[in-house]
Chains A and B, each alone.
Chain A
Amino acid sequence: MSDDGVNHTRRRLIGLTAGMGAVGGAFVAWPFLASWVPSARAKAAGAPVEINISKLEPGQMLSVEWRGQPAWILNRTPEMLDKLPGMVDLIVDPDSLESIQPDYAKNKTRSIKEQYLVLIGICTHLGCVPLTKLKPGLAEGMEADWRGGFFCPCHGSKFDLAGRVYKNVPAPTNLVVPPYHFATDTLIVVGVDPSMSIHGAEGAKNMNKKMKENLSGSKG
């Protein structure tokens, strides 16, 4: 292209106008895009839930709704707990290093009290609710070498009795442990860390952050 007869001032002004237009366009687009993020109402929903576990016998499980998701509480029998250490070879992340749980549940049993397992019942693959298959072996339609745990029907992910994911299934990380604490020996509060129940306002702020982390599911 030759420069003959090109009015450079006009070119520059055209460029400038187009540039301003683009900036204006971006400003107009912003409110529309921003309207898609969770609204104030959606963020406010999701109060903690209290679960009375006095009637939860060993080997039984409860499912409650917390923030639109199933929260599970499993009262593990001693036999169930005994199996956990032996699972290590079958498990991707036995020490829960890559998985999401509060620090106080980052241990061998993934729980505050050994016996009680609290989990978000949402598969870390693509978010289905895994089926509860607590009994080992063929009893619940699993294979003969099944040791009890959870089975996600969607794409076949398997988890053990601490919510830890098996090797060679699509789910990448262990089931999420939500923030929770024991208000009394028989009352579990899901959605509030133990520290928050003590530290009041400071803890509540912390809680919001924690909850969001836990809710957004598995990390990358």
Chain B
Amino acid sequence: MQKLLEQSLDWVDARYPVKKVWDEHLAKYYAPKNFNFLYYFGSLALVILVIQIVSGIFLTMHYKPDANMAFASVEYIMRDVEWGWLIRYMHSTGASFFFIVVYMHMYRGLIYGSYRGPRELLWIVGMVIFVTLMAEAFMGYLLPWGNMSYWGAQVIISLFGAIPFIGDWLAEFIRGDFVIADATLNRFFALHVAALPLVLVGLVFAHLVALHKVGSNNPDGIEIKQNKGPDGIPVDGIPFHPYYTVKDIMATVFFLILFAAVMFFVPELGGWFLEHDNFMPANVLQTPPEIVPLWYFTPYYSILRATTTDMIYVLYGVTVAMAILTVISVKDIRAKGATVVVAAVVLVALNILQPKLWGVILMGSSLMVFFGLPWLDRSPVKSIRYRGWMFKTALTIFIVSFFVLGFLGTQPATGLNTRIAMVGTVLYFLFFLLMPWYTTFDKTKPLPERVTE
């Protein structure tokens, strides 16, 4: 028996590089030995990607992408399809958990400097995954054709209308109609179940290829490949299999327990995972009393809402201050000139473009700035463990602003809330804009030779 198995494996291996791939990516892939809790979230993201794809395929078997039938077909899944409720709750709970996991994954990258060289591309692919994931979630949210689905999509697609000249045409192009309609639902369905999942899987593959080319970072932020033993193996590395496969399986078990608890007992999580206004069918004549996106979009939504006429004055101030700071700091006369020109262009644009468009620009930028992290960070060390008080303070302020913005995004945009959101927005951006300075002046601790336990 054993012999037969071995022979079959050899037969396959002569035609397909099974052992080579196994060794290169698992049994002889050396990962730093000091991974901690935060390093589980990458493999958990893979687990949840599979959950979403499988539960999604089964939902597709009962769902109808038609404006007249969509809402009823979801109710049918919930009430009449055997175990349909479970499949649907698995998918809706999965969406929120996907974002929890990915946010943790990104937070890990942020505090340990995993975005720094040589992992810039890994980080960029990760960010593209994140943006794609947001698009995937947004389109999926339209499908139940509830009132919140409808008006949420209306608001977000209208954002494109703010772009000068082509905006109105573009919004119409995306909707395929003059308003959100059957055409919109039908195409979002195609994108949500076929196009974007394929893109996501492709991107995740590219993410892992990039990861295995450069190797994982670790909580100490030092490169284990710079310290190899006589056998050419990093002294601080351990084979991914079996050491980390076992740990990842354990993490998956704990994760699935938590997942099941939410899915079975509190699938709506008090309106945070499934919104109450979405239990009413889309009504073209009536907006829900409050348009609130699901929690994972609320920080960006807050930034959008905070951008009113008053915010433009704040932006003038920030632009001028940043320009002065840059001109003082850079030595090269051409760089100084370029800064002045860029600042002047921004100031003119602030004058002529509407606040509505700036809201869209700021919201887009709040994601785009993440792409710049590898180049904004000037610190000689990567990990927060060896950074000084400036980075730690900046990071704390950023995280607090992120949560405050996220919370405000779920609340009515009253006067005071908008003011706080404005402050939060400025602090959010300053984390990135000021990074070249505070990471340069920050006092760092000396790096260890070897990873610490």
Q: Do A and B bind each other?
A: yes
CA distance A137 to B410 in the complex (A): 26
A36 lies within 8 A of chain B by Cβ: yes
Partner of A65, one of B167, B174, B284, B413: B284
B95 to chain A, nearest CB (A): 23
Residue total for B at the interface (Cβ-Cβ under 8 A) = 50
In this complex, how many residues of chain A approach chain B with their Cβ under 8 Å: the count is 38
A172 close to chain B: CB less than 8 A: yes
Q: Is A138 an interface residue (CB 8 A)?
A: no
Contact with B along A28-67 (1 / 0, CB 8 A): 0000000011110010001000000000000000010101
Residue B158 interfacial (CB < 8 Å): yes
A209-220 CB mask vs B (1 if < 8 Å, else 0) is 000100111111
CB < 8 Å neighbour of A172 from B173, B355, B414:
B355
A216–B161 Cα gap in the complex (Å)?
9
CB-CB under 8 A for A216 and B309, given A39-B183, A70-B285, A128-B291:
no
**Are A42 and B176 in contact (CB-based, < 8 A)?**
yes
Q: Are A37 and B176 in touch, CB under 8 angstroms?
A: yes
Q: A68 touching B414 by the CB < 8 A rule?
A: no
- Select which of A131, A167, A216 is within 8 A of B172 by beta carbon: A216
Which A residues between 99 and 144 are near B, CB-CB below 8 angstroms? 121, 125-131
Chain B residues contacting A216 (CB-CB under 8 Å) are 161, 168-169, 171-172, 178
Q: Does A155 contact B (CB under 8 A)?
A: yes
Interface SS majority for chain A: loop
The answer to the question of B100 belonging to the interface, with a C-beta cut-off of 8 Å to chain A, is no
Is A88 close to B, CB under 8 A? no
Closest residue on chain A to residue B356 by CB atoms: A172
Tell me if B200 is interfacial: C-beta within 8 Å of chain A. no
A154 CA to B284 CA in the complex, in Å? Answer: 15
Is B80 located at the chain interface by the 8 A CB criterion?
A: no
The verdict on A156 contacting B179 (CB below 8 Å), with A128-B154, A220-B167 known, is no
Q: Which of B155, B158, B357, B412 contacts A217 (CB 8 A)?
A: B158
A42 to B418, CA, bound (A): 38
A169 to B291, CA, bound (A): 16
Asked if A215 meets B178 with Cβ closer than 8 Å, knowing A125-B356, A126-B158, A220-B164, the reply is yes
Contacts of B289 in A (CB 8 A): 131, 153
B165 within 8 A of A: yes
Interface residue? B142 (CB, 8 A): no
Q: How far is the CA of A63 from the CA of B154 in the complex (A)?
A: 19
Nearest A residue to B307 by beta-carbon distance? A170
Measured in the bound complex, the distance between the Cα atoms of B422 and A170 in whole Å is: 13
Whole-angstrom CA separation of A39 from B183 in the bound complex: 9
In the complex formed, the residue of A with least CB distance to B154 is: A127
With A36-B173, A37-B172 given, is the CB distance from A129 to B286 under 8 Å? yes
Q: Does B399 contact A (CB under 8 A)?
A: no
| B162 touches A (CB below 8 Å) | yes
List residues of B (273-301) whose CB comes within 8 Å of A's CBs.
284-291
Residues 147-196 of A contacting B (Cβ, < 8 Å): 152-156, 167-172
Q: Is B90 interfacial (CB-CB < 8 Å)? A: no
Evaluate contact between A154 and B287: CB separation under 8 angstroms: yes
For the complex formed, measure the closest distance between the CB of A43 and the CB atoms of chain B, giving whole angstroms.
Answer: 8
A38 contacts B172, C-beta separation under 8 Å = yes
A218 vs B357: C-alpha distance when bound (angstroms): 12
Q: How many angstroms between the C-alpha atoms of A167 and B310 in the bound complex? A: 10
B359 sits at the interface (CB 8 A): yes
Asked if A220 and B183 make an inter-chain contact with CB atoms under 8 angstroms apart, the answer reads no
With a CB–CB cut-off of 8 A, which chain B residues contact A154? Answer: 151, 155, 287, 290-291
Tell yes or no: A69 within 8 A of B by CB. yes
Residues of chain B within 8 A of A171, CB atoms compared: 356
Further 19 A-B residue pairs, CB within 8 A, beyond A127-B161, A154-B290, A154-B291:
A36-B176, A38-B183, A67-B179, A68-B177, A68-B181, A125-B356, A155-B413, A156-B305, A167-B309, A170-B359, A171-B356, A212-B178, A215-B178, A217-B161, A217-B168, A217-B171, A220-B163, A220-B165, A220-B354
Residues of B within 8 A of A (CB): 151, 154-159, 161-165, 167-169, 171-179, 181, 183, 187, 284-291, 304-305, 307-310, 354-357, 359, 412-414, 418
**Could you list which residues of chain A lie within 8 angstroms of chain B, going by C-beta atoms?**
36-39, 42, 46, 63, 65, 67-70, 121, 125-131, 152-156, 167-172, 212, 215-220
Question: Can you list 15 residue pairs at the A/B interface with Cβ under 8 Å?
Answer: A36-B174, A37-B173, A38-B176, A39-B176, A39-B183, A67-B179, A70-B285, A153-B289, A153-B412, A154-B155, A154-B287, A155-B305, A169-B308, A220-B168, A220-B357
